């Protein structure tokens, strides 16, 4: 992704899985990365929902 400027990297565990949120303040892009590479936002939300015992729709406030 963006390599023009310094990135903000936030590392955390979601559902026991290590993931990082990378953010570029220059181009305003944000993306998630796991051990094996890029991770879709939906997958991160799914991990969080599974860890909390809920569904992704409940985690987002829908349904």
SS3 of 50, please? helix
The structural domains of the chain, with segments of one domain joined by +, span 7-56
pLDDT confidence of residue 55: 60
Flag residues of the chain having pLDDT under 70: 1-5, 55-63
pTM surpassing 0.75?
A: no
d(CA 4, CA 13): 27
pLDDT confidence of residue 61: 52
Cα–Cα distance list, 35 to 18, 20, 29, 38, 58 (Å): 7, 9, 20, 8, 26
Give exposure, 40-56, as e/b (b: 16+ Cβ within 10 Å): eeebbbbbbbeeeeeeb
Q: For residue 46, which of 19, 24, 8 has the smallest C-alpha distance?
A: 19
């Amino acid at each position: 992704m963006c390599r023009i400027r310094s990135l903000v990297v936030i590392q955390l565990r979601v559902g026991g899985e290590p993931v990082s949120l990378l953010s570029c303040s220059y181009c305003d892009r944000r993306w998630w990365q796991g051990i094996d590479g890029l991770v879709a936002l939906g997958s991160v939300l799914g991990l969080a929902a599974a860890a909390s015992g809920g569904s992704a729709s409940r985690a987002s406030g829908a349904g």
